[in-house]
Amino acid sequence: MNIDKILAELTLEEKASLCSGSDFWHTKTVERLDIPAVMVSDGPHGLRKNVDLAENPNQAIQAVCFPAACATACSFDRKLLETLGKAIGDECRHEELAVILGPGCNIKRSPLCGRNFEYFSEDPFLAGQMAASHIKGVQSKGVGSCIKHFAANNQETRRFSVSAEVDERTLREIYLAPFETVIKEAKPWTVMCSYNRINGVHSAQNKWLLTDVLRDEWGFGGLVMSDWGAVDDRVEGIKAGLDLEMPSSLGKNDKLIVEAVNKGELSEKELDKCVRRVLELIDKAAEGADPSTEWDKLKDHQLARKLAGECIVLLKNDDAVLPLDSRRKTAFIGLFAKEPRYQGGGSSHINSLTVDSALECVKEYAEVSYAQGYITSEDKTDEALLKEAVETAKAADTVVVFAGLPDSFESEGYDRTHMRMPECQLRLIDELCKVNENIIVVLHNGAPIELPFNDKVKGIVEAYLCGDGSGGAVCDVLYGKVNPSGKLAETFPKKLSDNPSYINFPGEGDTVKYQEGIFVGYRYYDKKEIEPLYPFGYGLSYTTFEYSDLRLSHTELDADKTLKVEVTVTNTGSVDGKEIVQLYVSDRESSVIRPVKELKGFEKVFLKAGESRKVVFILDSRAFAYYEPAVKDWHIEYGAFDIMIGASSRDIRLTDTVYVSSEKRLPVHFTLNSNLGDIRQFPEGRQLLEDVFRATNATGGFDDEDEAMRRMNEVMTNELPLRAIVSFSDDERLTRDYLQGIVDKINELLN
């Protein structure tokens, strides 16, 4: 496609028409110039291609539901995400789709967000790495990905109108960081803006977000589309860099674009930029579509089961109750054993070809008894089902309870109001614990939940929403065919009020204040010294691992260099297994408030029983930096940084220290109201003040012999404004004008 030639031949009306969809899923055609339509489809963990838009835009073809992001993030496995992406990419090629809408890499600010099951993590580094790997897999097949929802889309409540009030440092370090990683490392074809406003401005017409940051700063060269129905002012959206409005606005907004150009309110040059990017997407899509691409749905279903096994997290395993012994009597109790909840509700809902239930798949390992135990249509105990379940449990050696959140508890479109499981399920578990001491609970949920039975049961398996192969994957883990290796990508607090966003979620009216700032997830629990129920990065295995020989390539490091970190991991148990090694960085002393530690590296390593292996991390300057709004850039303060290697955020095994220096100094501007202590922090300032005190006989020292008085005088003097020296000296030379000259000289030296 000769895009320059086509742009020259397009009429103004045709250009405007290309900036919106023709229907729910397609771009517009321009038959006169042979410009075809391309189709996009919902994802991100499976294909939700619609078959008959006229009859039902939500009716999708049969496809495979892979584990959702809440589960895949727990794999901490970049290769797994890439494998998943490649499978989805082949499916898209077969179905001649241009772009699959996903993944989402919004941060899990609150466990209550109804769409958390579609998002990866509370940690921006992990979220960015997982999303980038997913996209690399999809796009390796010649199909586009659409990273979403850009940005600060962290709740469903009033999502079309709410304004996320976030300071720039928090935006940069937490909410924009995963998108930045994706843009720079995976280069997605498209970006989807979010519904919400950011600091009062709709994402769909936010020039700072879509052009200044996304394009000019990060170098994004692809297409930006709206979330479905997110457009407020289409003309402002064009100016801001929103290329494609979805879905169709039935030509209404196209006319507004034409009118704005004709009135001189919008330049045709601005419009051309958007049209060019639409044409570039159409051109790319033509190369990727290939209906002859193999799509073996049953093969992909088996892949979904395999991937799910890598994501499941073993939270508790007292007395080695797991893996199960097929020779012992086991009971499966709970409707989810027969009818698993394996995906969330909303735009990502897959019409699965086949679904594995644990009750069916367990036949590969053993015969089990079964009782339904509860209903999901309402939160009400069915006494007959409860009685049957109790009797079934009495006759078994071990009981596996399949429980969690029904579909009605979490979905796109609304947020949860609490973290509790259905009361009928909690009562069931309580009653079962009274008649059997070997209770294991398998959880099906898309976000953290309260676990009041945590101290009563012997085993807890977090299966999250693991796709249509989850029933088989759970059985593989329960019976030890798969050694669980997942670790939590989010913190499980003991109670909702422990969460940092608790007071400000979901806000008041159309405003939500992110007053917890950068302290999201484990960053907050660490800083507040709050013990979570299960910490970020936590997960058990059927084997054990030891860490040793931590080595750093440097003890002192220039900020423009990289640091190589090596550590040896040994499988000290009798079972082959995988360990997720986590690297955290801690700034020992900082002039700004920083988290206790932050995840800056992770690797998943397979080790046979008794095997050792060296794990290597490479840290660049970003690993030590914080975002400094004063200079609109990332900044490193000179000092000691601890390199922490852990099995979780609360299980740090090894620590070493590196001193990092940076030639960049933050700009300073002292005034007569600046404190003496602040000026003294700089050698130049300290020397000038000493000269002043010496020349004018003013006091600048702390000579009191009494330690308490000396300390008081030291603190008070350091916090004294420079101007106050005039009042504490009888030297006539010490005037405000004289001190202003000193201030000017200090500023000149430091800048």
What's the pLDDT at 707?
77
**Per-residue pLDDT at 683:** 83
SS (H, E, C) 570-625: EECCCCCEEEEEEEEEEECCCCCCCCCCEEEEEEEEEECCCCEEEEEEEECHHHHC
**What is the pLDDT at residue 286?**
87
Q: What is the pLDDT of residue 334?
A: 98
The answer to whether the beta carbons of residues 484 and 314 sit under 8 Å apart is: yes
CA 370 to chain centre: 38
* Contact (CB, 8 A) for 419 and 450: yes
Strands 612-619 and 563-571 come out as antiparallel
What is the distance between the alpha carbons of residues 525 and 544, in angstroms, rounded to a whole number?
26
Residue 525 CA: distances (Å) to CA of 489, 498, 544, 546: 14, 8, 26, 26
pLDDT at 703: 54
In this structure, are residues 495 and 148 in contact, taking their beta carbons and an 8 Å threshold?
Answer: no
Distance between CA atoms of 46 and 102, rounded to whole angstroms? 10
Rounded CA-CA distance 344/486 in Å is 20
Q: What are phi and psi of 723, to 5 degrees?
A: -60, -25
Residue burial 392-426, b: 16+ Cβ < 10 Å; e: rest = bbeebebbbbbbbbbeebbbbebbbeebbbbebbb
pLDDT confidence of residue 704? 55
Contact 693, 725 (CB under 8 A): no
Look-up of token digits 């159409």: 282
* 3-state secondary structure (DSSP) of residue 443: strand
Q: Is residue 282 within 8 Å of residue 53, measured between CB atoms?
A: no
The total number of residues shown for the chain amounts to 751
Q: Which two tokens stand for residue 104?
A: 């989402």
Q: Which two tokens stand for residue 338?
A: 């027969």
Cα Rg, the chain, nearest whole Å: 29
In order of their start, the domains of the chain are 300-528 (3.40.50.1700), 545-661 (2.60.40.10), 676-750 (no CATH)
**pLDDT score recorded for residue 697:** 64
Tokens 């008041």 sit at which residue?
Answer: 508
274 sits in which H/E element: helix 268-288
Q: State which residues of the chain have pLDDT below 70.
A: 52-58, 695-705
Handedness of CA 432, 436, 437, 441 (dihedral sign): negative
DSSP for 629-643 reads TTTTEEE--SEEEEE
pLDDT digits (tens, 9 = 90+) for 389-445: 999 999 999 999 999 999 999 999 999 999 999 999 999 999 999 999 999 999 999
Give a three-class secondary structure readout of 412-438.
Answer: CCECCCCCCCCHHHHHHHHHHHHHCCC
Q: In the structure encoding, which two tokens stand for residue 725, read together?
A: 């020296």
pTM: 0.95
Residue 591, both tokens: 């002039």
HEC sequence for 210-228:
HHHHHHHHCCCCCEEECCC
Are residues 585 and 597 in contact, defined by beta-carbon separation less than 8 angstroms?
yes
Confidence (pLDDT) at 701: 52
CB 638 within 8 A of CB 661: yes
Strand order in the sheet with 201-202: 201-202, 197-198, 163-165, 511-513
What is the CA 237 to chain-centroid distance, rounded? 26
Give dist(CA 101, CA 43) in Å, integer.
5
Q: How far is CA 171 from CA 166, 174, 509, 636, in A?
A: 6, 6, 21, 18
Q: Please list, in sequence order, all residues whose beta carbon lies within 8 angstroms of the beta carbon of residue 336, skipping any fewer than 6 positions away.
A: 358, 402, 403, 404, 442, 444
Amino acid at 604: K
Counting Cα atoms < 13 Å in the Cβ hemisphere of 573 gives 14
> Rounded to an integer, what is the distance from CA 42 to the centroid of its chain?
19
pLDDT at 407: 93
pLDDT one-digit tens code per residue, 626-660: 999 999 999 999 999 999 999 999 999 999 999 99
Provide the annotated active-site residues. Answer: 227
Interatomic CA distance for residues 411 and 743, integer angstroms: 59
Residue 700 has a CB neighbour count (10 Å cut-off) of: 16
Please, which residues have CB within 8 angstroms of residue 592's CB and are 6 or more apart in sequence? 626, 628, 637
- Angle of CA points 487, 489, 494, to nearest 5°: 90
